[in-house]
Amino acid sequence: MWQIWLLPVLVVGITIALSVPLGIYMASVLDERWRAPALRRWFERRVDTGPQDWKQYAVALLLWNVLTFIVGFLILQFQAFLPLNPDGKGLLSPTTVFNTLCSFLSNTNLQHYSGEVHLTYFSQLFLICWKQFHSPAIGLAALVAIVRGLRGDAHLGNFYVDLWRATFYIILPAALVVGVLLLAGGMPMTLEGNAQVTTLETGALGTDDAGQAKPQEIARGPVAAIVAIKQLGTNGGGYFGPNSTHPYENPNGWTNLLEAVCIILFPMAAVVMFGRMLNNFRHAAVIFGVMLLFMVALLGWGVYWDTLQPNPGLAAQPERRFEVADSTAPGGKIALTLPAVAALPVDQSLGNLEGKELRFGTSAGPTWAALTTCTSNGSVNCMHDSLNPLAGLTPLVGMWLNCNFGGVGVGLINFLIYLVIAVFLAGLMVGRTPEYLGKKVEAREMKLAMLAFLIHPLMVLAPTGLFTATDWGAKSTNNPAAHGFAEVLYEFSSASANNGSGFEGLADTYGFNDNPSPAPFAPHWDIACGLVMIFSRFVPIIAPLAIAGSLAAKNRVPFTTGTLRTDTLTFGFVLFGTIVLLGALTFLPAAVGGPLAAPQGPPPLGGE
Amino acid sequence: MMAHLRANLWLLVMTLLICSVAYPAALLGIGQTVFRDSANGSLIAGPDGKPIGSRLIAQPFTGDEYFQPRPSYVSYNAAATGGSNWGASNYLLRDRVARQLGPIVKYKDGRPVAQDIEAWFQKDQFQGQPGIVAQWAQAHSGLAAAWVKADPLHADYVASWIKQNPSASESKLEELAVPFFISYSKAHPGTFPVAVEQKAEKLVQSIKKGIEIQSIFFDMWRQDHPQADLQAVPADMVMASGCGLDPHITLDSALYQLDRVATSRAAQSGRPAAEVRTEIEALLREKAAAPLGGLAGVKLVNVLEVNLALAPRDGAARSSAE
């Protein structure tokens, strides 16, 4: 029993301890106030285009993204003709390529392909690994620029220099350390093709046409390099299809602990960095506390409903009676009775084991599910689709809020939007012009904040509605009724939160261009999710940049007794309330139709 | 503009060189020198030096003399992995578990349930109504349709039934699965149609007992016998892992399989079953370990390692018996 709670406590505790020194280091690197060595200055001069205001910064950011999109396209589209392809993988379908590029450009890493099946080693290293390094660095650069604006710097810095420093001085060293530790933990790192092994029991996999026992073909590759950066950069784009459930991508309990720490390390450190850059650790502590509260609550909810409860599909059910509205029936209602169901004789003392691995520890699945969706990581170590119905709310709510630590850099940016809204609401309540960090928050900032806030629910709910109403979604689900709806909802929540995990039963893979039987609506999913990812990535980066630019230009208001303090417990409560009201309630109706209905309601919403 | 172009190109070249070449090359170098064995996939060499499996990857075992791994949604295909992704409200999950349970479940007193399922099936009464097979098809039309697709002979069988019943004239065979089973249940009460191989010929037979009856109809039998006092099977024996390649089972699951393995190995080697059982149990307990050095989770055993450790003992026992 105590082991169940020890694992999450270890993960969160270790990460908090590491995040403080790391955050201070990050601030010192990105916010350079000391004289760097000559060699380093020489390199940085190659990319330095001079001080930028918010518009120039945003243009530089977009330029770099356009360029990497084009280079990424060339790599992925022509992988069949490029080197490092020992297993002879072919051309991908155009929509799979489009989706994958949008996905890795936006730090989402939603995968409508299966790594070990569809990608060559060249694509894995030169597209997946490459993008996973600089897409979190872009988030970090944007955050640093916004902080510079908030504290009133004359300019927001230079995007290229920030990108350079974040990639090479922060993310790269961390990835090297983690990569070596993962190798020590037993992870493969090879350029050899698939291994062919004879099985111990001859013919256990059947025989081929010639009567010979079939070998087991084991996919492998440069796994450790990709997993290290995948975990650290809130990327989540796994080497193998089932991500960190795969024994090569997560060989044992120790690597699982390390990988789980890596999920939240940079997002936590970013908050410390924020405090350091503003020289206001109390304000950062309030933010950190609110984020931690949400994360712990979601984690506890997930572990309680998934590890401490049996899978209800196998357990006993009492007789249930429902009344369903039906205009044709007398009285407008029909009574339904679901008979009692006897339990199957399964010892479920370890909780719901469908889609779980044993070697990580009992509560590892839901713990990871909470961490990976509070941040925008999106890697998984259990199949979220098979989580117990109510436990499935943990990843969904994590992605809907998408600001409790969140993606590297962008998570805190999302949180700052809530913060500006909270300041505004609190200002209205006490009848004063709202201020944040000594700058007046006025109509222009609020319009931009609402734009950044509203894009997320819009990008989740509108396409969910469209796909649910048409065959595109209805014929793509792997599970019946309410849970099927939850699969559609999850996919767009994940795309819009730039998360990348999935209720993976959804049929959304086209794969190779010559695939004779792709998922029927795979192109629809590829294009819709691709567009959602792009909009939900760049609008919430550029709008806050504009807010920062506009705040930077304002005069500082003197601090008086009437000023709303943002470094107190009271303000923490206001923040908490704002996030619950705005973030969670926006999605409540969708939640009721999906994960909340799945275990409760009568058919057609609930049961089989 | 030129400055932007230069900065972009410089970043492009450097990120590709460092992140996609130097970084993986460094890890590749460390992996292939310091952690050579695991960096190539933790493969285990067999007696002839060729690899017989990976310590980290589950492979199937079907024989009674082997411990068996967790079920795999991808049939242990390590080149295209995945889980079922079935939620609790999906009957396919419950059906898969029930099918695995039927042939192995025992009462608390140790008697197997399988024969009772067959006897109940032959009486052809479910919840007081006649026609088990018809009720099964009506409750789970998806499973009935899956039966039609499972074997070409099944499809032929339904096609010949349609010829005799021209009133059924819908286009797809699967859509006719339910009316077919209703009609079948009336004509052949207490039986179920299954494609069987007989004297190098395959044909559909109406069977009254066997593993199909025990597995397909276990859940219905259970609903008719909610009070039956059954031994609970460790969950990991019937629930599939996320990737389909989980190399471990719980110690509980191994101990549950111990009797079967010991009996089978004792029969092969001609040694007393109790002695073999004690020996194997000692091996299991020696090899069992919990994740994170016991800080998280329950004791597990690696299926391939245990089965490998059993193999030489078996050989040694055989040669000493000769």
Cis before A589? omega within 30 = no
Rounded to whole angstroms, how far apart are CA atoms A75 and A132?
Answer: 15
Locate tokens 């908030």: which residue? A150
Cβ atoms of A426 and A564 closer than 8 Å: yes
Q: Whose CA is closest to A504, among A243, A259, A247? A: A243
Phi, psi of A372 (to 5 degrees): -75, -20
**Closest residue in chain A to residue B104, using alpha carbons only:** A345
SS3 A305: helix
ipTM: 0.92
User: Which ranges in B188-250 belong to alpha helices (H)?
Assistant: 211-216, 218-224
What are the chain A neighbours of B13 within 8 Å (beta carbons)? Answer: none
Kindly list the distances between the CA atom of residue B178 and the CA atoms of A203, B136, B156, B209, B317, in Å, as whole numbers in the listed order: 36, 9, 16, 22, 54
Q: Whose CA is closest to A52, among A127, A130, A161? A: A161
SS3 A439: strand
B227: exposed, middle or buried (C-beta count within 10 Å: 0-12, 13-18, 19+)?
exposed
Determine whether the interchain pair B62/A201 forms a contact, defined as Cβ–Cβ distance below 8 Å.
Answer: yes
At residue B312, the pLDDT reads 64
Residues 6+ apart with CB under 8 A from B111: none
Residue B119: pLDDT over 60: yes
Residue A245 DSSP label: G
Cβ atoms of A81 and A162 closer than 8 Å: no
User: First-to-last CA distance in chain A?
Assistant: 33
**Closest residue in chain B to residue A191, using alpha carbons only:** B28
Residue A207: pLDDT over 90: no
pTM for the whole structure:
0.93
Task: Give tens-digit pLDDT for A320-351.
Answer: 887 777 777 777 788 878 788 899 999 999 99
Tell me the mean pLDDT in the region A393-420.
Answer: 94
B279: exposed, middle or buried (C-beta count within 10 Å: 0-12, 13-18, 19+)?
middle
How many cross-chain Cβ pairs, A to B, lie less than 8 Å apart?
A: 400
**Closest residue in chain B to residue A318, using alpha carbons only:** B226
What are the chain B neighbours of A121 within 8 Å (beta carbons)? Answer: none
At residue B165, the pLDDT reads 75
Task: Give tens-digit pLDDT for A512-544.
Answer: 999 888 999 999 999 999 999 999 999 999 999
Closest to A116 (Cβ–Cβ): which among B79, B83, B87? B79
Residue A605: pLDDT over 70: no
Shortest Cα distance from B9 to chain A (angstroms)?
Answer: 9
Residue bearing the bigger pLDDT, B262 or A432: B262
Determine whether the interchain pair B30/A198 forms a contact, defined as Cβ–Cβ distance below 8 Å.
Answer: no
The HSE-up count of residue B164 (CA atoms within 13 Å, CB side) is 9
What are the chain A neighbours of B240 within 8 Å (beta carbons)? Answer: 354-355
At residue A606, the pLDDT reads 37
Residue B170: pLDDT over 70: no
At residue B47, the pLDDT reads 78
At residue A136, the pLDDT reads 95
Tell me the mean pLDDT in the region A43-48.
Answer: 90
Q: Identify the band that residue A366 occupies on the pLDDT scale cut at 50, 70 and 90.
A: very high
| Dihedral sign computed on CA atoms, order B214, B217, B219, B224 | negative
Determine whether the interchain pair A134/B19 forms a contact, defined as Cβ–Cβ distance below 8 Å.
Answer: yes
Closest to A200 (Cβ–Cβ): which among B42, B297, B308? B308
Ranges A125-134, A426-435, B169-178: which has the least confidence: B169-178
Shortest Cα distance from B183 to chain A (angstroms)?
Answer: 25
In 10 A of CB A399, how many CB atoms? 28
Tell me the mean pLDDT in the region B180-191.
Answer: 92
What are the chain A neighbours of B15 within 8 Å (beta carbons)? Answer: 130, 133-134, 167
Residue A596: pLDDT over 90: no
Tokens representing A189? 């790192």
Determine whether the interchain pair B243/A172 forms a contact, defined as Cβ–Cβ distance below 8 Å.
Answer: no
Closest to A218 (Cβ–Cβ): which among B7, B41, B296? B41
Tell me the mean pLDDT in the region B103-125.
Answer: 93
Shortest Cα distance from B307 to chain A (angstroms)?
Answer: 8
Q: Identify the band that residue B313 occupies on the pLDDT scale cut at 50, 70 and 90.
A: low
Tokens representing A575? 């923040």
- According to DSSP, the β-strands at B248-250 and A216-218 are unpaired
In 10 A of CB A443, how many CB atoms? 7
Residue B320: pLDDT over 60: no
Tokens representing B185? 């249940």
Rounded to whole angstroms, how far apart are CA atoms A580 and A523?
Answer: 35
Closest to A383 (Cβ–Cβ): which among B18, B89, B242? B242
Shortest Cα distance from B261 to chain A (angstroms)?
Answer: 14
Residue B306: pLDDT over 60: yes
Mutation for A interface: B5, B13, B27, most A CBs within 10 A? B27
**Closest residue in chain B to residue A196, using alpha carbons only:** B51
At residue B166, the pLDDT reads 67
Determine whether the interchain pair B240/A355 forms a contact, defined as Cβ–Cβ distance below 8 Å.
Answer: yes
Determine whether the interchain pair A382/B242 forms a contact, defined as Cβ–Cβ distance below 8 Å.
Answer: yes
**Closest residue in chain A to residue B79, using alpha carbons only:** A219
Determine whether the interchain pair A345/B93 forms a contact, defined as Cβ–Cβ distance below 8 Å.
Answer: no
Residue B172: pLDDT over 80: no
Determine whether the interchain pair A356/B235 forms a contact, defined as Cβ–Cβ distance below 8 Å.
Answer: no
Phi, psi of A320 (to 5 degrees): -125, 135
Determine whether the interchain pair A361/B60 forms a contact, defined as Cβ–Cβ distance below 8 Å.
Answer: no
User: What is the average pLDDT value for chain A, to the nearest integer?
Assistant: 91
Ranges A210-214, A249-253, A522-526: which has the least confidence: A210-214
**Closest residue in chain B to residue A199, using alpha carbons only:** B52
Amino acid symbol at B36: R
Residue bearing the bigger pLDDT, A174 or A504: A174
